[in-house]
Every structure is written in C-alpha cells, then in structure tokens.
Structure 1
Amino acid sequence: MTSTKVEIPYPDIQLFIGGAWRPRSGIGIEIIGPATGLAVGHCAVAEQADLDDALAAALSGFRLWAGTPGHDRAMVLRRAADILDARAVTIGGHIHLEQGKPLDEAEAEVRFAAEVLRWNAGEAERIYGRVIPARRPGERLMVLPEPIGPVLALTPWNFPIYQPVAKIAPALAAGCSVIVKPSEETPAGAAALARALHEAGLPAGALNMVFGNPAEISSYLISSPVIRKVSFTGSVAVGRIIGAQAGQALKKATLELGGHAPVIICPDADLERAAMLCAEHKFRNAGQVCVSASRFIVHRSVLERFTSAFVVAAKARAIGPLINARRVAAVAELVRNAVQAGANLRAGGQEGTAPGFFFPPTVLSDVPPMARIMREEPFGPVAAICAYDSLDQALDIANSLPFGLAAYGFTNTSDVAERLVSGLEAGMVLINDFATMYPETPFGGTKDSGFGSENGKEGVEAYLRPKFAALSRGADC
C-alpha cells in the first residue's frame, strides 16, 4: 500500500464564475481522504443563482473567446500548461489526498494535463475550413468551422485533473466557453486547472466551475438554451440519462462511458513481458480506470504459466486506496461471488483492516462465465482470468458484453495481430501494449461504452460545427 502521509495542505475549494472565485457559504461538501477515511477539506455548493450566473457568464465569455484569434487562444493554453508544470508537485499532493493514488501517479497526471493543453494549443492554430469547387462563374463555395457554443462538461473522480482538461482544452481551443462540473469527491485538480487558465489570461466567463448535486445541476444546465453541447464521462446508467436529456433538448453530446476491457493472450506471446505489463496496467490507479484490463482470456496451453507470472507481478504492486467504502464493498462482493461460482483466488481478496479504503491487488483464475465479474465492470484492483482454445472462441468471449471501450491482445504473429484488430469490437484496440491515451490519438468507445471521441483532432472537431457559405457576384459586379 502507498504512504498516506503528505505535508501539503488541502485548499479550500470554491466556485469559479465569471472570472471570480466564490467562497462557500456554510459547511459545503465534506471531502473524504480515501487513505484515512477522514475529512481533508470542504467544497463549495452552487445554488440556482450561481448556476444562472454561470450560464450568463458562459454566454458572454463565448462571445468574447469565439472571436479571439486561434493564435491568441493557443498562447493562453500554453501559458496555463507552464503553470501546471511549475505546480505539479503541489497539485499532485492535493490529488493524492482527495483521490488516493500514489504521489508519482498524481504528479504524472498533472504533467499529462499540461501536455494535453499544449497539444490542443497547437490545434487552435490549425482549425481549417475548405473551399469547394464552384459550379458557376463568380461563385465561391466554402465550409467554415465555427465553435459550437457554450459547453457543459461533466467529469468523474478517478482522474481529477485529466478528466476536466480532456474536455476543457479542446473546447477552449475550438473557441467555446465551458461550464465544468467536476466530481465533488475530487475537486482540487479541476480547481487548480481553472486557476492556471485564469492566471494565463483566459477571459472572464470562458471557463466556469460549479459543484453540488450532480443530477440537479446537470438537468438544470442541460435544459438551458445557453448550453449547446454536453460532454460526459461516467457510468453507462448515468450516461443514458445525460444522453436522453441532451437529445430531448436537441443538443450534441459526447459520452465516454464504462468498459470491461478484454485481454487476449495468444500462445506465441512473450508471456513474462505480457504478465508484467498486464499487472502494471490492471492495478494502475487501483484499477479505477475505464480502460483498465479486466478480463484476461488466455490460451489454455499457456494458462498456468501466464497466471503464475501475473500473480507474482500482482503481489509486487503497491497501490493506493479505492475512492470510498462503497467501492470496497462492491469489489469484495464481486470476488466473493466469483469464488462461490468456482473461481480460484490466487492473490489478494481480503479487505484491508487499516484505516482508509484499501483493497489489495487480487487475481482470480479459472473464472466461470456465470460469475458476475465476467459481466460487470469491477472498477477496482481485481483481475479475472479464464481459458480459451481457439481464437474464434477468444473473440466470442471478448465481444460477448455490451461494452466496447478498449480491448487488448498479446501475440508475436502479424496475421493474428491483424485479426485481433479487426475482430475485437472496441473503440480502441492495442496489441502488445496498453498506451490508450495520448493527446494526439482519439479516445472513445462503441456500443454501451458511448460515442464520440476525446483527444486527437476528433476531440477538437467535437466542439466545432461546419457552416456552409456561398458568395456570388451581384448583377452589377
């Protein structure tokens, strides 16, 4: 388990509306540190008047920011990135306290957020339209990309600064204004991002941040005619609600929802390397990652060899706590159910007895298909291993669920690799690696894992709308 003692004081989390910070009134929302189970701070709560002010600020901010040249927008994003880099240790300490991930992971998340800002700054300077060949003399046909308008961004708790920046950076690059509602469980990362952008010269109203009851805030803001697009990351169940609300209001939506990523281990794979990488990926952020590998589908001829190596690697991992007691209980119940169904517990499986919400790296082998963990996303440090005999069978197992966010495979045969890429039903397929997240590559799923992409040029395009324009000479020209 990771160390829980950090000497960085946790900040007071306020609302940010119209370029100004609003102190909380009353106690606000208590933020619980998952490493200790004790309060580390408080978060302000928005009232309806605050939401109305945020909508008005987003509208006025959009009118100003949309007219700002792309070069100038890029300069603001780059300055904000430099600020984040300079404060990475402090902000990482805040994320460690509120979310529980190890300090090195938290600091790396801050630096990656800076990288996302820089890459989108470049995209702000490369938003191009196009000219269409005319059909008549004196005619010009053009497509002009325009920012879609004020955006509502709804983000979860597992990556406190990356999740907000993945929505805010491309929206700002495109010229949109944003109202972001981060998780009330982990608000410090988003607050640090807002502060960096404000200090970098972002105009008042271009970014606004509110906290409070998630269902009430999202419903109120989505229904406003000011909001023109919604971007949500979270569970499938909540995503259906958000998508329905956006659809009812005829607003564009990007939904990045849950996953239950399969990993197919082929008999010709480098098993020791695969086991090491799988354990490193599986237990990152204590398994609380939407693209985390969850189902390990291993060829029967190498099943025990891979499992043994994976168990050794799992036992060597030091991880942080889960976000709250509810997640500990949910993960523990999935493990109990799997064992009762006939799975073998090869590592971990016991809830922590120390303060905080700890659960050890856990490995289950020979997991039968009827076990709940083979159908339900664990979102925790539990790996389920099962066997296959043919590649067709492996693909059937991998594609049997309604999720389609990420999928992985390990093989040293190019033909098999090509078949995995074409046969796995997921928005992201990686062979012999787990690098799903770069600023320049699209991140998104299919089926119940949502639609639309973040990152890459697709991420910026999600905040643009094409305007067709035709210019013809008048009769006297």
Structure 2
Amino acid sequence: MDLALHIDGEWITDRDTLPVINPATEEVVAHLPLATPADLDRAVAAAARASHTWRGTPIADRTRILLKAADLLVSRADRVARAMTLEQGKPLAEARGEVLRVAGALRWDAEDARRAYGRIIPSAADTVLSVRHEPVGPVAAFTPWNFPAGSPMRKLAGALSAGCSIVIKASEETPGTAVEIVRCFAEAGLPAGAVNLVFGDPASVSRQLIAAPQIRMVAFTGSIPVGKLLAGQAGNRMKPCLMELGGHAPVIVCADADPVQAARKAAAAKFANAGQVCTSPSRFLVHESLWAPFLAEFTAAAERVVVGNGLATGTTMGPLANARRLEAMTELVDDAVEHGAKLVLGGERLDRPGYFFPPTVLTDVPEHARVMREEPFGPIAPIVAFTDLDDALRIANSLPYGLAAYGFTRSSKTAEKLITGFEAGILSINHCGGSVHEAPSGGVKQSGWGREGGPEGVEAYLITKRVSHLLAD
C-alpha cells in the first residue's frame, strides 16, 4: 500500500509516519506520512489558487474530467477494494461494492452539476433581476474510517462537481482508499491544487484548516461530539457547515408486519460493515404479538453470519475497525446485562487475533440501559417488545438523534403514521435501504445539518447570488 500526502499536485512521502493496522490481524500493513503545519498552509494556498481555475473551467470540461476519474476508479475497483479490506476489515465483496457505488455517485454529481440552474425573475422594464448559483469556494472536509471510499467521495464529488476546490483530511486509520481515489482524480486531469489530501492529528489539522481565511466551508462526517466542536469553530468564523453526524436508528415492527421478512431484512442491515454504519438499525421495537417469531428469525440470521478476515472466502462480517470499538461493545453489553437485559447471543470478543466481536442479541433491555441511549456502532442488537404504536414512536423519538429510522407494516395507513411520526432525516418502510445517488441523506436534531446525495448534494456547495441589473441607456 503506497501512502502519501497530495498537495498542489505533488505526492509527498518524506514525513513522520503513523502505522496503519490491519484490524483482522493486528499487523502493520503500511506507514502513513503526516502533514506538517507548513504542509497544511501550502494545501490551503493551493486550494485557494485552484479555486479560480476550477470554477472557471467550462462545465463540459469539468464533467469530462470527473467522469474520467469515475472510469479510472471502476477500472481499479479490485485494487482499491483490497486496500480497503486490509485497512478497514470489511469483506472484500462489500468493499468492492462500495468502490463501485462511489464511482456511480461521482458520475451522478458530475452530471447533476450541469443542472444547477438559476432563474430570471420578472421585474421592472429597465431591470433584469436574476438568481445565480456559484461555488462557495475552497472547502475543508473531514471523513471517518467506516466507509473509506463512501465518506470521502461524498465530499469530493459534491464539492468538485459544484466547482469548488477542496482540502480533505481522510481517516488516518483507513488512508489507502482515499489515496487511491485521489490518484484517479489527479490522473484524470484535475488541475493541481483542486484536490489536496492530508493526514495528521485530527484536532490540530481541523483547527488549522477551519481557521484558514481562504477556507469558505466545512464538511464533516463523524460523531456528534466532534461535529459540534468543528461546527463551533466554523461558526466563530461564520463559515457554513455540512454535518453528517451519528444516530441511533430505531426499527418499529408493527402488529401487521411479516415478522420473518422484517427480521431477515433488519439483521442483514444490522450486521453489514459489522454494524459500523451511522444509519445502522440499532434499536428494535417489535409488537408483542410478533416478538417471539421476530426474535427467533433474527437470532437465526445472526447465527448464520460468518465472522472472519475480509479477504477470506465466505466471510460475511469482518472485524471491528479498532481496539476502541471492542472495548465499547463489551461495556455496552455488560451495562445492559447489569440493568436486567438477557444475553441471547454473542456478547464477548472472539478469542483470536484481530478485533473480532460476534453478532450480539439482547432482549428485555430497559430504556435506561446505555445501549438504548447511545449509538453502539457495532454488531449489537437490543430487541424489545411494545404494545402501543404511539408508545413505540415515543421511544423511537426520545433521543436527541434523528438520522435514520425504519418501519415494517402491511398497512398503508400505518405506514403513513410512521412516516409522519418518525423524527428522522432518512426513513425506510418495509426495508432497510441505504444511501442512493439520486436522493438526499442527512439528519435532524443533533444528527447533523445539510444533505448529501441527490441535487441537494451539489447545492450544498453552492451559494445563491441575487443580481439586479439596471439596463444602461
């Protein structure tokens, strides 16, 4: 895995390094160079210069370059996927699927930017009143480790398609995927400085980049506490933010749902990426009449999950990304059991090298247990029964999070009650759908500001300018 910083069109390797650990083996697979403060200043200056070049590039030429980058990424999908599995752990097929999806997202945004229309407004006879959309300017972006391709590409595709330059700090735990993606942009002909990729101490890097006067916008995906910190730093400088933060997605299985189908779909979503997904279903509220069959099928599905090295044939769930997540899983399970929950399946780290934690099922979990209040971000599923749908919605909405929610019902009337009742920015009925290129994703309450995906994903990086043009004689 060849790792480097990318600043002003140059690949840089001769810096102090940080080891990159394979979470399936706990072995060092690469060494990551870290940016110095001078490197960050140079990246910001490069982005500021390139901003004028890139925004002035005709939209047809911008689109051609971005589509070429997408084609390069598809042609390298196997190589990029292997790098992702080595550094993040997810099964190779899952990693390859992620690479192909983000290439599709780039294509969507590149084409959709052609439709960032303004408008002419009827006005006085001697005045042309118009509304125009322009790039916000250089962007500072920060992305996490759980989707090493998905999270960076959402920022890169939206910003570049809108005509913005960008300085992106991808995760130091999963840098190889981001490096491969940026290589595609560079080789596709993106102007030097339009994309700058840096790594370093997260707190120091974010503080310096956000404070830089040339940076006009901040985009972040990650935890709520860090999001609040970065939003505060940006707010002090009146810089707009795009924040995709954590959640604790409830699942309500109504009395008229098919419990077997609901359990199978919910389990498949729960254990994807070892539960390390912001939108992962993580609180299961099942009507008491369906609780027993749902639990039986969900547990059976969990038992069928094959936990192992993502490079091994047959693996369907890889390790957790780091040792911190292992400790967090153990604490949540222990707390739930101490509060009266029943451990049905899993619950302990697997006795082997690597950060492996099995699919875990808990029942009879009280509302005040930590796992019902804190996003587990791992393969833990608390399943509880309810008798009244209004009470289930109360529990679902009782937390300060509102990213995703899921409901299962065979009644259109009940479905509408779920749709209007859930407090969430992303809602799926009768399935556990993931992100799609053509529609927006984002949260409400403390789960974030703004949207990624769909037309909104490009609009986030545009400013609206009102122009009143008094015609000359």
> TM > 0.5 between the two?
yes
Q: TM bucket by the smaller chain?
A: over 0.9
1:21 matched residue in structure 2: 11
1:457 matched residue in structure 2: 455
Shift of 1:275: 0.7
SS of the aligned residue for 1:394 comes to helix
Shift of 1:176: 0.2
In the aligned structure 1, how far is the partner of 2:154 from the partner of 2:471? 44
Q: Are residue 197 (structure 1) and residue 195 (structure 2) matched?
A: no
In the aligned structure 1, how far is the partner of 2:303 from the partner of 2:389? 29
In the aligned structure 2, how far is the partner of 1:379 from the partner of 1:472? 56
2:88 matched residue in structure 1: 99
1:4 matched residue in structure 2: none
SS of the aligned residue for 1:90 comes to helix
Q: Residues 282 and 382 of structure 2 are in contact (CA less than 8 Å); yes or no, is this contact kept in structure 1?
A: yes
Q: Are residue 357 (structure 1) and residue 376 (structure 2) matched?
A: no
Q: Normalization by structure 2: what TM-score?
A: 0.97
2:381 matched residue in structure 1: 383
In the aligned structure 2, how far is the partner of 1:96 from the partner of 1:154? 21
Shift of 1:95: 0.2
SS of the aligned residue for 1:301 comes to coil
2:165 matched residue in structure 1: 177
1:33 matched residue in structure 2: 22
1:131 matched residue in structure 2: 120
Q: Are residue 114 (structure 1) and residue 111 (structure 2) matched?
A: no
Q: Are residue 82 (structure 1) and residue 80 (structure 2) matched?
A: no
SS of the aligned residue for 2:402 comes to coil
1:12 matched residue in structure 2: 2
In the aligned structure 2, how far is the partner of 1:75 from the partner of 1:92? 25
SS of the aligned residue for 1:125 comes to helix
Deviates more, 1:354-363 or 1:121-130: 121-130
Shift of 1:111: 0.4
2:200 matched residue in structure 1: 212
Q: Residues 74 and 100 of structure 2 are in contact (CA less than 8 Å); yes or no, is this contact kept in structure 1?
A: yes
- Indicate which of 330, 333, 338 corresponds to 2:331: 333
In the aligned structure 2, how far is the partner of 1:449 from the partner of 1:92? 29
SS of the aligned residue for 1:306 comes to helix
Shift of 1:473: 2.0
SS of the aligned residue for 1:262 comes to strand
Structure 2 spans left out of the alignment, 5+ residues: 307-316
Shift of 1:121: 1.2
Identity percentage over the alignment?
52
Q: Residues 89 and 320 of structure 2 are in contact (CA less than 8 Å); yes or no, is this contact kept in structure 1?
A: yes
Q: Normalization by structure 1: what TM-score?
A: 0.96
SS of the aligned residue for 1:328 comes to helix
Shift of 1:436: 3.2
In the aligned structure 1, how far is the partner of 2:106 from the partner of 2:391? 42
Q: Which amino acid aligns with 1:297?
A: L
- Indicate which of 87, 112, 134 corresponds to 1:146: 134
In the aligned structure 1, how far is the partner of 2:452 from the partner of 2:66? 17
Shift of 1:261: 0.2
Q: Which amino acid aligns with 1:145?
A: H
Alignment size in residue pairs: 463
In the aligned structure 2, how far is the partner of 1:173 from the partner of 1:209? 17
1:7 matched residue in structure 2: none
Structure 1 spans left out of the alignment, 5+ residues: 1-10
In the aligned structure 2, how far is the partner of 1:429 from the partner of 1:270? 19
Q: Which amino acid aligns with 1:80?
A: A
Summarize deviations over 1:218-238 as a string: whole Å, max 9, x none.
001101110000001111111
1:368 matched residue in structure 2: 366
In the aligned structure 2, how far is the partner of 1:470 from the partner of 1:340? 66
In the aligned structure 2, how far is the partner of 1:61 from the partner of 1:237? 32
Q: Residues 128 and 471 of structure 2 are in contact (CA less than 8 Å); yes or no, is this contact kept in structure 1?
A: no
Q: Residues 243 and 253 of structure 1 are in contact (CA less than 8 Å); yes or no, is this contact kept in structure 2?
A: yes
Q: Residues 436 and 443 of structure 1 are in contact (CA less than 8 Å); yes or no, is this contact kept in structure 2?
A: no
In the aligned structure 1, how far is the partner of 2:355 from the partner of 2:243? 29
In the aligned structure 2, how far is the partner of 1:98 from the partner of 1:105? 14
In the aligned structure 2, how far is the partner of 1:244 from the partner of 1:307? 43
Shift of 1:342: 1.2
2:399 matched residue in structure 1: 401
Shift of 1:330: 0.7
Runs (4+) of structure 1 moved beyond 6 Å? none
2:309 matched residue in structure 1: none
Q: Residues 15 and 35 of structure 2 are in contact (CA less than 8 Å); yes or no, is this contact kept in structure 1?
A: no
